[in-house]
A and B are shown apart, each in its own frame.
Chain A
């Protein structure tokens, strides 16, 4: 090769390389040259909206960064949730950014799914609907989740255009028996809201108002308002149910009754009240009927049937009789429909007898879910599709094939050849799989809408983010399909404005900014008209405990705090966060009483085949003391066969065991079924539970104190060095003492951040855990890694049982304690855990080399190591908080007290040239807590809330005797022993 040739070749080569390099440069990170007015890069925008993860209708604020929603928080101005949000609400983000979300409509052709354009999908719907409309009346049917009046009106108009009847609003948990009981007793099938906060005694017969019942965030708040310590007293909550739900775990006393015997207890109480002369206001015929029914329900008979102790029954009845403002709540999940109806009728009567004016029932402000169709109507709806010449079935955000026990029959009906099924959904769920056309629609965070969570609370929804798909809003799509060019309104947004009766654009902006219209005037007064006719109570006698059918066990299918009816199952956070009681992630189990386990020779994790008359299920058993020995409880929501990678084949669906029929009187389903056969299959499954031990082994971790003595300093606390007599040592200079400390205190400038956790307020719902996942970009590790012990949650709720009484449960939120004398800091060779000037124990990720000594030396074991790179399939990374580093494999991480929010607080204070004020900074967990169990603040400020709370005699530090000087101060849980001798509640003097 000569010189010229070499130059030629190298010249061509370098041009080729240079030309090839340009292709990648086309990608741009931001093209926001013309950014929207309200978007500033690096600054969050907040959009008020309404949560649609369940029918409660909580208000939310969606945090938008650079065009994408990264966090949801409760709307503090919203009357339902007042700033709090449950874990399902927090996880709504993983619906929008779900990797299995459908991007385009899919049509079923020649046995497979084929993507089509949205225009083509609309065309198909128009074509099918028009043809159906021309062929005759009622040939188009629509079934939807419960929606607001606005969308419901659109459905009606559209269906009318196609000569069909209105939509069917379907919710799997529709509270049929409660509605029916109210209809029978109060004269209207309504679901009033309850002023739980005004009660002095609350008695529940299963209602899981801290989990899924009507409006859990609202009732969690109200419950703690009534149940928190006021002037040395607190309200009393007693729950009677066969299964100890999270709600029952928070009761002062839980009575395990035999499954199906709840109504017996209710009527036993009515009899007792009657005999003490109460209930004169009840109409005569009903009075007669009650006395007839209750005739045999003596105290001993009730206790025999329900399997409860006589002393407990006496305590319960005496408490109710003596109460000034009692409130009785009705049936809960997992009941059979007959018992549920009787219980709810009995409870309604009981409330009426106790307080005829029903002051704690708010009939003006009723829950939206009351408009959901009865289960019997849902069944009739589907049967009608089969028997009538229906041509087009529209399904909106609903998955009846999964949520109804009659999956086989539904599959038959929906798969019928002559029926064209359109599913408006974003996910390939079990029902969508049977459809002919799947049309994705905008999710609640992307769309305009309105939703009335309660009669007097209208929440608005607005697009809080840019569009991820081209999906239209369901309202727009249907209006366009039905009316083509002569639409009554230009688009669905203006329809919403019209429906809300908003005239001026300013009012509209105000409403949308506030997240709704809350101070609506009262409607026409609702007078609960007492029914005078006979109640359908003749057949109420519950089964005698002796003639239990089949295998002697009864399965209860209870809704899940995490998955609700199953719609949460495709969200990784909800799978990863454990069930608050079993502490099991990802899997589903059957909870069985230890006695039953022992009697049948089952061991934890044994896979048992449960068979009822309607189906079978194979599920591992979990030994759990919080259940009646006759019952087996399983949570609903898992066991999907479709619905995306996170839901599919994860856990089991107990609905397959249940009877498909309904109670003829209430139209409600039964969530309980006797088992005809149970058989161990000889397999054992490792359970992905997070707790290493169920009890505290006598250590100073989650402490309780008695209500009588909670205002006194703990007798143990002193100046000793042992576990029980070690003093409270605040993480500030005052907390140091030459007798205990070798090293001097840290010089904290102005601030020393810390937290106070009131164990008396913590209900263990886990909302904080999920909020923390969302805020801090925490990795989801999946079932396999959970089994290996590698969960990443920065904040966990430890659940401990009392070894003396396993039904006494205490929850302890545990996060990094930001010790002033941190064991992790001294052992790291490279200063990755670093004590900040404001007392924070900062973890510096890029300094960490992964010795893991810090985690070994942390007595609280709150440090989390990134064992691997955690999977975040696209587009889940769009949810990541840009203010928080995403950690890579090999580094340690832990709770930072949301340092990004602290920095933000600094910036604000600096802009205003002042110090940070108490309450300026709210970490994600504190923000979302429905019961205000967590308080964050500055210990250097003697006036701060945390500092004042730390003066409470209940204050202690977990394992404080290690002299780590944790900055998380816990307040002991206040327990009250409910026996007849000690009676203490508001308005009644304490004995002695």
Chain B
């Protein structure tokens, strides 16, 4: 493989912005149809009532909130990679930081839709806004749902600003090589970047500050999301390990999603020289680490349930393992804790098909983790008379399908219209002599 140079980096990355093929537009059209399908399902639900879903008493929260937590989880790794690993000077994060951060932003957007979709009366959602009006109502800031609003919107704003700041020099590069309307658009987007020494100095300092600002958010967002559950009284939710457990789970799923996205990206855009196998290997190693944390959390939950000697807790976890949702539970355990251990073998973590396949399984496992926690806990809580089961309806699955389409729709648009690898940061690694392959 040829040695990377500034030119080869620029050329490889900017090649991806060439006018797309017909297949690309077909893909975009398909994804857009999927988005429309999801939107149609949502519209039908708004008109008819939330009862078109499968939720019931006791399972008032269905897969809308499973998807919410899932997408928030996905949103984690972007900032982890771009901010925390930046602070740790982990050079291997540079090739994937841009795409991972983009993934973060789109995932937060998709996640943010789900609380709205979930509401019984979405048209009065503005009651949650702290605006002094003649309604003389003030939101209840002791509600974890209000924490969510604050945490998620903050995370979205900071991530988006961080993402955009990091992209400025690259946008200028695109501008410099573009012509016509495209040049005008990128002229605006690059905010007059000229690459003077002073600009670089401010840029580097600003990027570092953003990284430090974003770091606590990585921890806080999913901690807050976990409190949606941990602050409830429901057995299976009401536990103090939820914040670290959810953060670890979120990073776990986010890293898996990074692999899922990077491997095709690398293949299609011929990024093999930039996103090398060793980068992917490093992601896989981190997945082993998060997988072990998640497995430890599963074990802790079971131990505490037994240790509590509380019949309600014990029954909740017994039922989780052996009850009606045991299949989901075992999917969760196997995919999230056992399958990542395969990455301990170098032969597996350096083979692209294995990396891709296992990352998909981890994604599935993490989706089921949220299913098991959110649905499985309330389905079988305090009063046995009220125990019940839940199955998602077609409308709910349609909206879920739409959400995946929306995410990939945005991501596919992104990779062809903005530089999906940070040219600046790649070049930094060249000049610092801190080559990412070493």
- A residues within 8 Å of B by Cβ? 690-693, 695-699, 701, 722-723, 785, 788-791, 796, 798-800, 814, 823, 826-831, 847-853, 855-857, 859-861, 863-869, 889-892, 958-959, 962
Contacts and interface: CB of A to CB of B under 8 A. Distances in A.
Contact of A855 (B51, B57, B145): B57
Contact of B145 (A722, A851, A859): A851
A699 B311 contact: yes
Interface in B28-56: 48-52, 54-56
Given A692-B388, A830-B128, A889-B51, A823 B232 contact: yes
B50 A867 contact: yes
Nearest to A859: B382
B140 interface: yes
Q: Which 10 residue pairs are nearest across A and B when measured between Cβ atoms? A: A850-B120, A692-B387, A867-B51, A789-B56, A890-B120, A693-B384, A852-B60, A868-B51, A889-B49, A861-B386
A692 B61 CA distance: 18
B189 interface: no
Contact of B128 (A691, A722, A829): A829
B385 interface: yes
A877 B386 CA distance: 30
B152 to A, nearest CB: 13
B48 A868 contact: yes
A693 B387 contact: yes
Contacts of B59: 789
Given A692-B388, A868-B48, A859 B118 contact: no
B57 A829 contact: no
Interface in B228-254: 228, 231-234
B131 interface: no
Contacts of A958: 383
B379 to A, nearest CB: 9
A722 B313 CA distance: 12
B139 interface: yes
Interface string B131-149: 0000001111011111001
A867 B121 contact: no
A852 B61 contact: yes
B91 interface: no
B395 to A, nearest CB: 12
B145 A831 contact: no
A861 B233 contact: no
A830 B140 contact: yes
Contact of A831 (B115, B137, B382, B385): B137
Nearest to B52: A868
B124 interface: yes
Contacts, number: 178
B378 interface: yes
Interface string B367-394: 0000000000010111111111110000
Given A785-B51, A853-B145, A889-B51, A823 B233 contact: yes
A856 B383 contact: no
B312 to A, nearest CB: 6
A868 B55 CA distance: 12
A180 to B, nearest CB: 43
| Most central of A790, A823, A865, A962 by chain B CB within 10 Å | A865
B125 interface: yes
Contact of A959 (B60, B119, B145, B382): B382
A946 to B, nearest CB: 23
B385 A850 contact: no
Interface residues on B, range: 35 or more
B295 interface: no
B311 A697 contact: yes
A849 B55 contact: no
B57 A864 contact: yes
Nearest to A695: B384
Interface in B215-234: 228, 231-234
Main SS of the interface on chain B? loop
9 contacts: A798-B383, A798-B385, A827-B231, A847-B127, A853-B144, A853-B145, A867-B51, A889-B120, A962-B382
Contacts of B234: 856-857, 859
Contacts of B387: 692-693
Contacts of A722: 310
A891 B120 contact: yes
Nearest to B47: A889
B49 A866 contact: yes
Contacts of B127: 830, 847, 849
A829 B140 contact: yes
B143 A826 contact: yes
| Most central of B48, B233, B310, B380 by chain A CB within 10 Å | B233
Contact of A860 (B143, B382, B389): B382
A856 B385 contact: no
B49 to A, nearest CB: 4
A723 B308 CA distance: 11
B399 to A, nearest CB: 16
Given A785-B51, A889-B120, A826 B60 contact: no
Nearest to B147: A829
Contact of A861 (B50, B145, B383): B383
B301 interface: no
Interface of B: 48-52, 54-61, 115, 118-122, 124-125, 127-128, 137-140, 142-146, 149, 228, 231-234, 310-312, 315, 378, 380-390
Nearest to A694: B384
Given A699-B311, A850-B119, A829 B145 contact: yes
B56 A788 contact: yes
Contacts of A823: 232-233
B118 A851 contact: yes
Contacts of A699: 311-312, 382-384
A719 B243 CA distance: 31
Nearest to A852: B60
Nearest to A963: B233
B226 to A, nearest CB: 14
Contact of A827 (B55, B56, B122, B145): B145
B381 A829 contact: no
Contacts of A851: 115, 118-120, 145
A859 B115 CA distance: 23
A800 B386 CA distance: 12
A856 B137 CA distance: 23
A134 B312 CA distance: 79
Contacts of A828: 140, 143, 145
B121 A890 contact: yes
A828 B145 CA distance: 8
B143 A827 contact: yes
Nearest to A700: B311
Contacts of B56: 788-790, 867
A827 B58 CA distance: 17
A867 B386 contact: no
A829 B231 CA distance: 13
Contact of B232 (A696, A847, A857): A857
A847 B390 CA distance: 27
A698 B233 contact: no
Nearest to A864: B57
Contacts of A788: 51, 54, 56
Given A789-B57, A857-B234, A868-B51, A850 B121 contact: yes
Contacts of A701: 383-385
A826 B145 CA distance: 10
Given A788-B56, A856-B234, A723 B50 contact: no
B384 A852 contact: no
Nearest to A888: B121
Given A693-B387, A826-B142, A856 B120 contact: no
A856 B55 CA distance: 11
B386 A857 contact: no
Given A789-B56, A865-B60, A849 B388 contact: no
Contacts of B128: 829-830, 849
Given A865-B60, A869-B49, A859 B383 contact: yes
Contacts of B310: 722-723
